[in-house]
Every structure is written in structure tokens, then in C-alpha cells.
């Protein structure tokens, strides 16, 4: 019975997303082509005002180097400003030292600044015990918009480069950035935030409310401008919560309806980008094929999490019905929590509505695998699209080797230069994650973080942390005590590599392709249809399996079969 | 052009780049971090005054006793009890236990809770307990329990208040919320609202 409800729950979510995909994708294509939209009368003057004020030449067409340089410079400025803001917190308005007790040390501030400027929003702190309302809004909400929009810009430039016919340019970073904020993120967030308030998400600047409970105990209720953060943290695939419990907190996610809407906000735009891709490359079927490959991986993972969590924990005493409810909320239930785990792990968004650390070993393995796949299923806003195309290119290269045909995508062939970039792109992740995990389990500063769980589960906690940081996801097996100089610095390294170490090679590839004219090759492997979707999925799975099987065997798999505690 | 000139050129370009990035960042931060929250704040305050201030609830005497969205601890027999909380319902410090599935501390905590619930509510070992009543929530502030968890507490609450179990059960029924849109999430009972309803029906009994 529970399963039928779970299926209907997932089906409703998918239906909403699939209805939105095409209109959203086509709208995005218009926005980034500079074509007319119905918002132009309001936003057009504002856009031109911004360019005048900041002396930006909106007509400039950038080569990939300039585009990537602007992206990196923008990320750097955002990081430094946020760092300063966090360090100056105690002197800013709405900072109540009575409740905000976590010291904002230089390492925590640097980690948090990098984290929000790279859309990772990894949080080594608890929101309600660390962040004043000024830092939440000007710092975290601000970066949720800015970093989210920058990622979207990179994704668009990537496709532009692939589709360009010998122009050698990939667009204008500043224009893409401004249009992403004005035409996409701001209007959707204004509506979304108010819907959330209607459902119960607070939006105030009140002091924390001190009340005497019904039984006469005292309770302090953290307050704040939660709704302003809540929608954009999901829409921008950031995910860092206003409160420590993030999407599980009743003030962030008060009802099953807000849970559905927040998950749709995470997925709709990244999924819609496959349609944008199809429109920009004039190969709509290739776009749909990317989406189909995403959906296959998504659904298999979702089914895995739901099945494992419904089965429950065999170590518990008998006579308990209802599956593994440890670290889950009643209003979402197991199906609502499994859906959120599948969505947030695939889409580079940390806003889980349960504690993944308390999932069953297999239920926690799936989100880990989703992140290890490289955030290719929906993925980070904009970056998810470039990531799955990179996997598709890898698949074409492998298949090309096997059948002896010239590997080709969108009418452009893969030469040694392109393949070098694709291999670099594929190897940065495994190298970063495995090396950092190995270091952490070898040094005392690393194992000192295992304050809650030990054994194979402890290894999984550490692996999950670096995987999440590199994936710019931000969710955690939160039993790991990560607010130490060691973890703050090492996760920072992973986040920087996961953001810039991937975006720059992706843009470089786009730059190479922007100089090439597409030509039809009769012998090329078709890049749409069921067969190609299978090639994409196989390439993704093969890469992860070959690289991570040993460490996964020592972590979640060993825990499942009953290794040392 | 010699090497010195070209490196100076690059420096000038870099400074211009960072300058442009800084100017745009400041403008966009004002738009997204000041103007946008201000608009949401003003509209929310006017249209949804209760929700925007945290859905605070008052008891029969008009005293604020909590938030309808945030769980609080109930231990007395005349009240329905909520879920276990890893943070003792501290709503300024939310969070779950984060105990891993193989952690003996988790198994022990579930076993202890099962024994306590069976003793308090007289549930025989032949009858299964709902998992939500013996586990800790993710937020530590879960305001709800499942209808099954409410049902097994009805007799105890009725006895403690000296009223008929059927009367208590009917209050539970009116405070049971169905799945959103009939599909989403799980049916649930808001513990604070339910207990306030009991107090308003039968006072301090």
C-alpha cells in the first residue's frame, strides 16, 4: 500500500516537472539569445541601467578565455566580499550575540565564503546559531542569486560554443549573468517566496521568540527572513539552509506541498536546459535524449532509496512498523524523504529534508553515487548540462574507439585536443575526492571529525563530505564534525576544484568548438534516440564504477553486510 | 612591443576586469540582497501576517505557548506525546541525531524508546509500534506524529483526564490532517494543536 502512494507521489512530481520543461527551456533560449520576452518592458530599462552604471559593453562578444576569466574574477570578488561580511558580522544590524554563538573564525568564514560563491553551500555551522539576518540576506541570499546565475551563464556559454559556426566566441558573461538574474531567478523567486510564506515559512526581522510551553518549559523559537532565502536556495541549486536542519526544519519546509514545490524549483530549470540545448543547437532530439538519460538514472536511484528506507533497519528490535523513520519528518514520510534525497543529490543542492547520515547503508549509498556520477542528472544550474554533455562526449569517444568510426558530436569531430580536455574533466573529480578522503582517514585531524559514528560508516561520512564539496552539492552525513581548520580547508579545496576546475575546461572545449564549422558526416554515430541514451548512462556508470568501487566496498557496502561497527 | 609592455597591458586588463566584476557584484547584491527581500517582507507582512511571524499560537488565556509548526516536549500523561528529539526541542538549535544505521547507540535508543512507549501506553509485544514514535526526527522539532502513534495514546490520555476514550478519539480525528492533495507526504496529527484542543475541551483535568 505504501508503495502505491510512493509511486503516485513520484509520478505527480515528474508530471509537474515534465509539463514545465518545454516552456521553461524555450523561454531560457529566448532570454539568452536576447530575443523579446513579455518581461522586457519592465526589465529592459533596468538591464540597460545596470550596464550604464557598471560601464559594461553589452555588445562585446567574448572568446572563451575572456568569458572564463570574467567568471573566475566574479567568483573571486564574491568570495572576498562575503568573507569580509562574515568577519564583520558582530558589527552589523540584526546580530544577536545571545543566540549566535558559533565563532566566525577565519577558516570557517573562508570555507563559508567559498562555499556560497561556488553554489556548494556546504555548511560547517548551524544557521540559527551562527548567522545574523544581515549576513543571511546580503551575504547568503545574495550569493545564492549571483553564484547560481554565474553557473547558468557558464552552461549557456558552453552550449553556445558547441553550436557556434566558426565565430570563435561564446557570448558575453556579464550579459548572461545579468539576464539570468533579471529574467529567470528574480521573478521566479518573488512568486516562490510568497507561496512559501502562505504555507508557513516565516519572513520577519523579529528577535528569537521566547515562550513558555504548554507544560511550562521555556522554548526559544529562532525567527528570521527565511522565505527570502528558501526559494532561491533551491532555484539556484545552492541548498544551504537558513537553519541547521535545512529542508527538514518546519519553518523552511512546513508542508508536503512546500516539499513538492521546493523540489520542483530545484529540478525544473536544469531539466528545462536540455530543451534549451536542443533549441540552441537546432537538434531538439539530442536535447530530449539528454533528458531521457537523466530520467533513467534518477528513477533507478529513487526506487533504490525508497525500497531501502521502507525496509527499515534490521538491527532494531522487532515489532516496529513503518520503515526507517530515524532522521525523517512525519509530514514527508519515507516517500517524501526519498524523493528529496534523490532530487537534492542529483541536482547539486544540499537542502535535504531528512538526515542522510541516518539512512540505511544502501539508502545512503544512492545519494552518494548520484553525487559521484558528477551531478549530471539535472545537476547544478547550468553546470549540470555541461557535465552531462561531457559524459556524452566521453561515451562517443569510447564507442568511436570500439567501432572504429570518427567520434563526432553536433557535426564536429573530437580531435586529440578535445579528448584531452574531456579526460581532464573526467579525472579531476576522482583525483580530488579520493586523495582528500585518503588524507583525512590517515591524519589525526581527519579522524578527529568522527565524533558520532565510527567504522565503515565513519569512512562513508568522510567520503560523502569530499564528494559533496567537489560536486558543489553541500549536503552532508552531518555526524561528521566538520567545523575544524582541517575540514574547513580541505573541503574548500574540493569546492574550488569542483567549480573552477570543471568550468574552465568546459569553457575551453566550448571555445575550441566555437571555431569549428559543423558539417554532416554520414558515418557518425547518431546522438539521439534510445541507443545514445544508453551510451550516456553506460559511460557515466562505467566511470564511477571503475574509480570508486573499492572505497564504496569499504564504506556503505561493508556496513550493509555487517562489518565492524 | 617588448615583454614589459605586454605584461603591463595584461595587468591593466586584469585590473579593469576585477573592477567591472566588483561594480556589478555590488549592484546585483543591492538588487538581490536588499531590494528583493524588502519586497518579499512587505508583501508577506500585509498578506500573511500570522505565517510571516512564525505561526505563533496562543492558549485559552491568550498566552503565546509556541508555534503551530514547531514541536515541543510533552511528558505528562494527560497530553499526547510527540516524537523523540535529538536537540530536546530546542528551536534555536535544530537537528537530528545523525546516528548511523549500524551505530549501537541508535539501536539502543530505539530499544529504550520501545520499552518506554509499551509501558506508558500498555502496548503488548504482539502489536507493532509505529516507527515515528520511537525514532528521532530530522529537525528535532517535528510538530507531528502519525495517526497510528496518536491512536495508541488515546486510552492513556483519556484515563489521565477522566474522560471517555471515544471523546478523546474524536478530538484526534478532527485534528488529523490528510495527505496534501491526497498524494503528498503522510497523514499526520499536529501534537501541540491537539493538546491545546484537549485543554480547551476539558480544561486542566
**How large is the ipTM?**
0.96
What residues contact B29, with CB distance under 8 A and at least 6 apart?
A81, A138, A142, A146
Q: Is a pLDDT exceeding 60 seen at residue B205?
A: no
**Cell 510551553 identifies what position?**
A213
Question: Could A330 and B131 be called an inter-chain contact, meaning their C-beta atoms sit closer than 8 Å?
Answer: no
- What is chain A's percent helix, strand, coil content, to nearest 5? 65, 5, 30
Residues of A in contact with B186 (CB under 8 A): 256, 330-333, 335-336
Q: What is the dihedral of CA A278, A279, A280, A284, to 10 degrees?
A: 30
Beta carbons of A395 and A543 less than 8 angstroms apart: no
Q: Is A126 on the interface with B (CB under 8 A)?
A: yes
Beta carbons of B156 and B122 less than 8 angstroms apart: yes
One domain for residues B149 and B85: yes
The grid cell for A12 is: 505527480
* pLDDT for the residue A521: 77
One domain for residues B74 and B125: yes
Question: CA-CA distance, A26 to A222, in Å (whole number)?
Answer: 41
* pLDDT for the residue A563: 59
At A487-525, the pLDDT tens digits run: 999 999 999 999 999 999 999 999 999 999 998 777 788
Question: CA-CA distance, A366 to A356, in Å (whole number)?
Answer: 10
How far away is chain B from the Cα of A8, in angstroms, using its nearest Cα? 7
Residue B58, CA distances (Å) to A207, A224, A349, B62 in order: 18, 20, 36, 5
At A361-407, the pLDDT tens digits run: 999 999 999 999 999 999 999 999 999 999 999 999 999 999 888 88
Q: Is A330 on the interface with B (CB under 8 A)?
A: yes
At A45-84, the pLDDT tens digits run: 999 999 999 999 999 999 999 999 999 999 999 999 999 9
Q: Please tell me the number of Cα atoms within 13 Å of B189 on its side-chain side.
A: 29
Q: Which residues pair with B197 in a beta bridge?
A: none
At B125-173, the pLDDT tens digits run: 999 999 999 999 999 999 999 999 999 999 999 999 999 999 999 999 9
How far away is chain B from the Cα of A199, in angstroms, using its nearest Cα? 7
Residue A552, CA distances (Å) to A67, A309, A366, A372, B21 in order: 38, 19, 11, 11, 41
Interface test with A, best of B10, B12, B21, B55 (most A CBs within 10 A): B21
Residue A19, CA distances (Å) to A39, A264, A513, B67 in order: 21, 11, 32, 36
How far away is chain A from the Cα of B7, in angstroms, using its nearest Cα? 16
Residues of B in contact with A126 (CB under 8 A): 93-95
Q: Which residues pair with B58 in a beta bridge?
A: B64
Mean pLDDT, rounded, for A442-461: 97
Question: CA-CA distance, A540 to A375, in Å (whole number)?
Answer: 10
Question: Could B129 and A197 be called an inter-chain contact, meaning their C-beta atoms sit closer than 8 Å?
Answer: no
Give the chain A residue whose CA is nearest to the CA of B81: A215
One domain for residues B123 and B95: yes
One domain for residues B43 and B65: no
At B52-106, the pLDDT tens digits run: 999 999 998 999 999 999 999 999 999 999 999 999 999 999 999 999 999 999 9
DSSP assignment of A422-458 equals HHHHHHHHHHHHHHHHHHHHHSHHHHTTBSS--HHHH
What residues contact A235, with CB distance under 8 A and at least 6 apart?
A148, A185, A188, A189, A192, A265, A266, A269, A381
One domain for residues B69 and B8: no
Return the H-helix or E-strand segment holding B67. strand B64-67
One domain for residues B97 and B35: no
| Structural domains in chain B (count) | 2
DSSP one-letter code for A343: H
Q: Is a pLDDT exceeding 50 seen at residue A565?
A: no
One domain for residues B138 and B92: yes
How many interchain CB pairs under 8 A, A with B?
Answer: 392
Helix (H, G, I), strand (E, B) or coil at A417: helix
At A162-215, the pLDDT tens digits run: 999 999 999 999 999 999 999 999 999 999 999 999 999 999 999 999 999 999
Closest CA to A429 of A523, A533, A348: A348
Question: Could B37 and A141 be called an inter-chain contact, meaning their C-beta atoms sit closer than 8 Å?
Answer: yes
At A205-260, the pLDDT tens digits run: 999 999 999 999 999 999 999 999 999 999 999 999 999 999 999 999 999 999 99
Question: CA-CA distance, A146 to A233, in Å (whole number)?
Answer: 11
Closest CA to A308 of A253, A383, A250, A367: A367
Residues of A in contact with B97 (CB under 8 A): 326-327, 355, 358
As a whole number, the mean pLDDT across chain A is 96
Question: CA-CA distance, A384 to A371, in Å (whole number)?
Answer: 11
Beta carbons of A12 and A253 less than 8 angstroms apart: no
One domain for residues B39 and B128: no
How far away is chain B from the Cα of A172, in angstroms, using its nearest Cα? 13
Burial class of residue B184 in the structure, from the number of CB atoms within 10 Å of its CB (0-12 exposed, 13-18 middle, 19+ buried): buried
Residues of A in contact with B63 (CB under 8 A): 212
Question: CA-CA distance, A282 to A217, in Å (whole number)?
Answer: 64
Cα A530 from chain centroid? Answer: 27
Question: CA-CA distance, A486 to A105, in Å (whole number)?
Answer: 13
Beta carbons of B117 and B129 less than 8 angstroms apart: yes
Give the chain B residue whose CA is nearest to the CA of A207: B53
Q: Is A8 on the interface with B (CB under 8 A)?
A: yes
The grid cell for A376 is: 549530471
Question: Could B44 and A213 be called an inter-chain contact, meaning their C-beta atoms sit closer than 8 Å?
Answer: no
Question: CA-CA distance, B21 to A72, in Å (whole number)?
Answer: 10
One domain for residues B166 and B72: yes
Helix (H, G, I), strand (E, B) or coil at A91: helix
Question: CA-CA distance, A343 to A247, in Å (whole number)?
Answer: 12
Residues of A in contact with B91 (CB under 8 A): 219-222
At A461-489, the pLDDT tens digits run: 999 999 999 999 999 999 999 999 999 99
Residues of B in contact with A199 (CB under 8 A): 51
* pLDDT for the residue A1: 39
* pLDDT for the residue A564: 52
Beta carbons of B193 and B199 less than 8 angstroms apart: no
At B116-125, the pLDDT tens digits run: 999 999 999 9
Supply the range of the domain harboring residue B196: 57-202
* pLDDT for the residue A523: 79
Cα A378–Cα A414–Cα A30 angle in degrees, nearest 5:
45
Question: CA-CA distance, B138 to B89, in Å (whole number)?
Answer: 11
At A522-557, the pLDDT tens digits run: 778 899 999 999 999 999 999 998 899 999 999 999
What count of other Cβ atoms lies within 10 Å of the Cβ of residue A168?
15
As a whole number, the mean pLDDT across chain B is 95
The pTM for the full model equals: 0.97
Helices A455-470 and A361-372 cross at an angle (nearest 10°) of 30
**Angular region, B17: left φ>0, alpha ψ -120 to 50, beta rest:** alpha
* pLDDT for the residue B204: 63
**Angular region, B139: left φ>0, alpha ψ -120 to 50, beta rest:** alpha
Burial class of residue B74 in the structure, from the number of CB atoms within 10 Å of its CB (0-12 exposed, 13-18 middle, 19+ buried): buried
Q: Is A326 on the interface with B (CB under 8 A)?
A: yes
Helix (H, G, I), strand (E, B) or coil at A52: helix
One domain for residues B79 and B135: yes
Question: Could A221 and B66 be called an inter-chain contact, meaning their C-beta atoms sit closer than 8 Å?
Answer: yes
State chain A's maximal CA–CA distance in angstroms.
79
Give the chain B residue whose CA is nearest to the CA of A452: B99
Question: CA-CA distance, A341 to B189, in Å (whole number)?
Answer: 24
Cα A68–Cα A72–Cα A73 angle in degrees, nearest 5:
115
One domain for residues B96 and B168: yes
Residues of A in contact with B148 (CB under 8 A): 321-322
B1 confidence band (pLDDT: 50, 70, 90):
very low
Question: CA-CA distance, B117 to A563, in Å (whole number)?
Answer: 31
Give the chain B residue whose CA is nearest to the CA of A5: B183
* pLDDT for the residue A380: 96
Amino acid at each position: 500500500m505504501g508503495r502505491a502512494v510512493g509511486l503516485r507521489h513520484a509520478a505527480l512530481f515528474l508530471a509537474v516537472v515534465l509539463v514545465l520543461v518545454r516552456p521553461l527551456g524555450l523561454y531560457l533560449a529566448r532570454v539568452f539569445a536576447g530575443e523579446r520576452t513579455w518581461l522586457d518592458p519592465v526589465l529592459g530599462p533596468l538591464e540597460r541601467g545596470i550596464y550604464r552604471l557598471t560601464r559594461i559593453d553589452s555588445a562585446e562578444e567574448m572568446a572563451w578565455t575572456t568569458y572564463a576569466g570574467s567568471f573566475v574574477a566574479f567568483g573571486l570578488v564574491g568570495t572576498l566580499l562575503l568573507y569580509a561580511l562574515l568577519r564583520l558580522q558582530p558589527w552589523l544590524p540584526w546580530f544577536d550575540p545571545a543566540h549566535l554563538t558559533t565563532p566566525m573564525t577565519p577558516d570557517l568564514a573562508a570555507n563559508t565564503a567559498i562555499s556560497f560563491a561556488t553554489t556548494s553551500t556546504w555548511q560547517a555551522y548551524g544557521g540559527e546559531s551562527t548567522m545574523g539576518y544581515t549576513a543571511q540576506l546580503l551575504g547568503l541570499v545574495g550569493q545564492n542569486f549571483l553564484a547560481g546565475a554565474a553557473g547558468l551563464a557558464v552552461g549557456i556559454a558552453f552550449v553556445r560554443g558547441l553550436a557556434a559556426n566558426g565565430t570563435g566566441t561564446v557570448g558575453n558573461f556579464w550579459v548572461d549573468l545579468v539576464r539570468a538574474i533579471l529574467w529567470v531567478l528574480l521573478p521566479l523567486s518573488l512568486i516562490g517566496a510568497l507561496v512559501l510564506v502562505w504555507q508557513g515559512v516565516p519572513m520577519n526581522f523579529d528577535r528569537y521568540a521566547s515562550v513558555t510551553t504548554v507544560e511550562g518549559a521555556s522554548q526559544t523559537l529562532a525567527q528570521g527572513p527565511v522565505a527570502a532565502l528558501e526559494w532561491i536556495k533551491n532555484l539556484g541549486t545552492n541548498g544551504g539552509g537558513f537553519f541547521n536542519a535545512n529542508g527538514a526544519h518546519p519553518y523552511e519546509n512546513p508542508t508536503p506541498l512546500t516539499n513538492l514545490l521546493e523540489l520542483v524549483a530545484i529540478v525544473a530549470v536544469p531539466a528545462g536546459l536540455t530543451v534549451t540545448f536542443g533549441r540552441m543547437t537546432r537538434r531538439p532530439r539530442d536535447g530530449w535524449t539528454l533528458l531521457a538519460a537523466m530520467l533513467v538514472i534518477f528513477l533507478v536511484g529513487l526506487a533504490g532509496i525508497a525500497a531501502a528506507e521502507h525496509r527499515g533497519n534490521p538491527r532494531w528490535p522487532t515489532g516496529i512498523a513503518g520503515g526507517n523513520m530515524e532522521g525523517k519528518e512525519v509530514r514527508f514520510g519515507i516517500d517524501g524523504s526519498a524523493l528529496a534525497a534523490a532530487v537534492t543529490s542529483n541536482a547539486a543542492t544540499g537542502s535535504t529534508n531528512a538526515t542522510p547520515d541516518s539512512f540505511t547503508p544502501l539508502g545512503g549509498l544512492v545519494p552518494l553515487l548520484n553525487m559521484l556520477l558528477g551531478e549530471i542528472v539535472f545537476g547544478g544550474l547550468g553546470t549540470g548540462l555541461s557535465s552531462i554533455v561531457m559524459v556524452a562526449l566521453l561515451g562517443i569517444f569510447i564507442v568511436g574507439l570500439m567501432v572504429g568510426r570518427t567520434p563526432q558530436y553536433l557535426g564536429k569531430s573530437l580531435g586529440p585536443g578535445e579528448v584531452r580536455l574531456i579526460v581532464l574533466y573526467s579525472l579531476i573529480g576522482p583525483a580530488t575526492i579520493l586523495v582528500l578522503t585518503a588524507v583525512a582517514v590517515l591524519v589525526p585531524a581527519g579522524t578527529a571529525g568522527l565524533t558520532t559514528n565510527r567504522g565503515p560508516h565513519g569512512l562513508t561520512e568522510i567520503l560523502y563530505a569530499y564528494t559533496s564539496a567537489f560536486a558543489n552539492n553541500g549536503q552532508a552525513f552531518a555526524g561528521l564534525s566538520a567545523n575544524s581548520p582541517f575540514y574547513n580547508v580541505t573541503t574548500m579545496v574540493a569546492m574550488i576544484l569542483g567549480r573552477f576546475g570543471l568550468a574552465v575546461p568546459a569553457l575551453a572545449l566550448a571555445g575550441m568548438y566555437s571555431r569549428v564549422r559543423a558539417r554532416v558526416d554520414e558515418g557518425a554515430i547518431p546522438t539521439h534516440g534510445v541507443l545514445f541514451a544508453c551510451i550516456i548512462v553506460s559511460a557515466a556508470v562505467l566511470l564511477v564504477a571503475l574509480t570508486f568501487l573499492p572505497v564504496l566496498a569499504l564504506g556503505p557496502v561493508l556496513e550493509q553486510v555487517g562489518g565492524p561497527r | 612591443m617588448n615583454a614589459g609592455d605586454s605584461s603591463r597591458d595584461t595587468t591593466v586588463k586584469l585590473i579593469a576586469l576585477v573592477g567591472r566584476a566588483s561594480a556589478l557584484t555590488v549592484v546585483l547584491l543591492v538588487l538581490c540582497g536588499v531590494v528583493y527581500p524588502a519586497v518579499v517582507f512587505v508583501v508577506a507582512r500585509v498578506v500573511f501576517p500570522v505565517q510571516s511571524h512564525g505561526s505563533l499560537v496562543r492558549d485559552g488565556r491568550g498566552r503565546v505557548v509556541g508555534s503551530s509548526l514547531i514541536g515541543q516536549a510533552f511528558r505528562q500523561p494527560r497530553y499526547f506525546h510527540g516524537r523523540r528529539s535529538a536537540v530536546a526541542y530546542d528551536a534555536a538549535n535544530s537537528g537530528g541525531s545523525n546516528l548511523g544505521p549500524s551505530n549501537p547507540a541508535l539501536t539502543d535508543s530505539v530499544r529504550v524508546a520501545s520499552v518506554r512507549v509499551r509501558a506508558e501506553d500498555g502496548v503488548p509485544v504482539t502489536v507493532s509500534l509505529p516507527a515515528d514514535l520511537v525514532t528521532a526526527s530530522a529537525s528535532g522539532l517535528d510538530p507531528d506524529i502519525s495517526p497510528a502513534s496518536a491512536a495508541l495514546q488515546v486510552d492513556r490520555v483519556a484515563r489521565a483526564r477522566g474522560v471517555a476514550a471515544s471523546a478523546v478519539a474524536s478530538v484526534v480525528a478532527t485534528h488529523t490532517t490528510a495527505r496534501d492533495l491526497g498524494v503528498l507526504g503522510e497523514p499526520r496529527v499536529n501534537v501541540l494543536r491537539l493538546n491545546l484542543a484537549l485543554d480547551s475541551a476539558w480544561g486542566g483535568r
